[in-house]
Structure 1
Amino acid sequence: MTAHTSSLNVQNALLAALVPLPSICFYLAMLRYSIPDVDGVGRDETFWNARWGALCKWGVRHPLGLLNVLFFLNVNLLFWFISFVQHSTWLIDLYWSILPVMITHYFSSHPLALYDQLRSKAVTLLVWIWSIRLTHSYFRRENWNWGEREDWRFSNLRKKHVKNWWWISFFIVYVSQQIFLVGICLPLYAIHRSQLPWTFWDALATGICVSGITIAYFADTQLYRFVRGNSLLRELGGPTAPVLEKGLWFYSRHPNYFGEQLWWWGLALYSWSVRQGWTVVGTCINSCCLAYVTVLVERKLLLKKTRTSAYKRYQQSTSVWIPWFKAELD
């Protein structure tokens, strides 16, 4: 690692640690303001104090509304501005695995939070485990570098819309992420708005979530070893394997996506347990989006001529998402 790369890593790591502070500081200040004065002394109702008080009261009454406002200001606008300076949208890729943890603690600590302790603790622990797994997978893929590259889909769009990327990126990269991330985290809101006791559905949801995390971990690990092995063979001048067909990838073309979806639908099942089934709308949107991403990934894989025929045969014999037995080919 060069001195420049090391310095850039430190800068990006510091940046990643600092970017959520505006929302965190505002929320903590709001919580402090919402606590009644224990000494009975009223607050100084100056013009600005009155406006601040009105904002805090609105945030207390509307947890979902406040979450969306903070997301828009802190993620959409701030991350968007940073992407201009750095010419990269890498931050949103990293924070995809961090924001659900922050949202979980936001809902559980909100003044209107009302929940079953066992369900809340189980879900919070699961979200942390999911986040650690996905964050580890992200850094392992990026060779433990901070902000070395951005998502290939955004890079392709940047090249395609060179002149208009400055405003297109705001909607495609950031506003869309607000829809997806806040949407799939709606079950976390439902969980922390109900005191219904733990049921069979919660136990089933826990099992599904654990299964999803486990499958995604092993699928990502197998893919990482495959890519790394091919890189070493390429450096040595040897033949590389065109398609990964071992482990979970023998039964599914995208077991990592399957595991990820299993996780989110397991989380959605908790909202069914607390009779808030409407919150699965975000999970449905996320699944539809990932189905489209699957198409994009497979198109990209077919572009490389050395693997085209092998991957087409793989497509014909192997299930897309759900692991299943191989189809017989002539």
Structure 2
Amino acid sequence: MGCGSVSYSNLKNGIIAFLVPLPSILFYLSFKLAYLQSPSSRSTLWTWCYHHPLLLANVLFFFNVNFLFWFIGLIQSSHWMIDPYWTVIPVMLAHYYSSHPLGEYNWLRSRIVMLLTWVWSIRLIHNYFRREKWQWGAREDWRFTDLSQQYGRHWWWASFLAIYVPHQVFLIGLSLPLYVIHSVNEPLSMWDLVATVVCISGVVIAYIADTQLYNFVSGNKEEGVAILEKGLWYYSRHPNYFGEQVWWWGLVVFAWNLGHGWAFVGALANTMCLAYVTQLVEQRMLKQDSRAEAFRLYQKTTSVWLPWFKSSPLGLKSKDA
């Protein structure tokens, strides 16, 4: 593929990515305009949108993300768009919940969480485009490609259930603390500080881990090292995953402090899913002949997620004796 076609594809996908959320944005702005400016002529639809902000978020997600993203993915034969939007949707939901007419919240807590969510998003967006060599939609997630091969000719409809429906569960679920934060008006407390520190720690850990991984992958062609085992990766096999989990559980602390501990369900579901993804990643590493032996030793000596000190692999001492 020539440079011209790559540039055209990059521009086309970039335009699509910027235009695709417009249906939800325009619908929501229409609702706010109609509801706030004409109280006497509120339709049943606008009244429902007012009283059910969480359900409205799910409806918009279903039609604008699940259906529209899926349809575009079928046309392009690549479901790439959900990856960059994983980093954007929580920010959009945070602004949606804070601007909804039914919202009632502590202004300072809201601004703190908004800022934290933007920092998390920018960090993840930067990592995505750095990894993809600053291109829009150059490739889809390798897990989607593997699934498409497994489902074969049924993938066109199975992709809707395998990719988009789970993303609605996870993204809406993970963002439940953002809904709680903008539904309860309580003064700040020490727990807000704790939650802020936890969130920042998660973002910093994930950034450092992803940067170390990017530098390793970029320079590995010359060095020829089988696996990354330096920096945070010396203490954990997946420190980037660990940092990401710390971020989401930090948001849960905000919701728990406001008396809505049930908002942990999204973070719990995501943690369980990430445990499965971790297995997939490690199985993929073990299928690579050049890395399999080194990675098996890495598994025996290094913690999966939680950064911890190295342990001695079984049998190593007896072999060295």
The reply to whether TM is greater than 0.5 is yes
Partner of residue 216, structure 2: 226
CA distance in 2: counterparts of 1:59 and 1:166, whole angstroms:
32
Work out the percentage of aligned pairs sharing the same amino acid.
53
Letter in 1 for 2:273: C
Which of 212, 215, 223 is equivalent to 2:205? 215
CA distance in 1: counterparts of 2:134 and 2:188, whole angstroms:
40
* 1:327 corresponds to 2:304: no
* 1:318 corresponds to 2:302: yes
* 1:246 corresponds to 2:247: no
* 1:22 corresponds to 2:6: no
Partner of residue 33, structure 2: 32
SS at match of 1:145: coil
CA distance in 2: counterparts of 1:31 and 1:149, whole angstroms:
37
CA distance in 2: counterparts of 1:116 and 1:245, whole angstroms:
44
* 1:81 corresponds to 2:71: yes
CA distance in 2: counterparts of 1:11 and 1:63, whole angstroms:
33
Report how far residue 36 of structure 1 moved: 4.2
CA distance in 2: counterparts of 1:268 and 1:171, whole angstroms:
27
Kindly provide the CA deviation profile for residues 209-256 of structure 1, in whole angstroms up to 9, marking residues without a partner as x: 00000000000000001001113x2xxxxx610010000000000000
Report how far residue 54 of structure 1 moved: 1.3
Correspondences of 1:161-176 after superposition (within 5 Å): 161-176=151-166
CA distance in 2: counterparts of 1:140 and 1:282, whole angstroms:
28
Gapped regions of structure 1 (runs ≥ 5):
44-49, 234-238
Partner of residue 319, structure 2: none
Partner of residue 95, structure 1: 85
Correspondences of 1:141-180 after superposition (within 5 Å): 141-180=131-170
Report how far residue 56 of structure 1 moved: 1.2
Higher fraction of helix: 2
CA distance in 1: counterparts of 2:199 and 2:114, whole angstroms:
12
Which of 175, 186, 206 is equivalent to 1:196? 186
Root-mean-square deviation (CA, aligned residues, Å) is 1.1
Matched pairs, number: 313
SS at match of 2:289: coil
Correspondences of 1:129-140 after superposition (within 5 Å): 129-140=119-130
CA distance in 2: counterparts of 1:56 and 1:254, whole angstroms:
45
* 1:11 corresponds to 2:12: yes
Partner of residue 236, structure 1: none
TM-score of the superposed pair, with normalisation by structure 2: 0.96
CA distance in 2: counterparts of 1:136 and 1:16, whole angstroms:
16
SS at match of 1:315: helix
Partner of residue 55, structure 1: 45
Which of 236, 243, 249 is equivalent to 1:259? 243
Letter in 2 for 1:244: L
SS at match of 2:140: coil
Report how far residue 55 of structure 1 moved: 1.1
Partner of residue 104, structure 1: 94
Letter in 2 for 1:263: W
Report how far residue 118 of structure 1 moved: 1.2
CA distance in 2: counterparts of 1:261 and 1:228, whole angstroms:
25
CA distance in 1: counterparts of 2:239 and 2:136, whole angstroms:
26
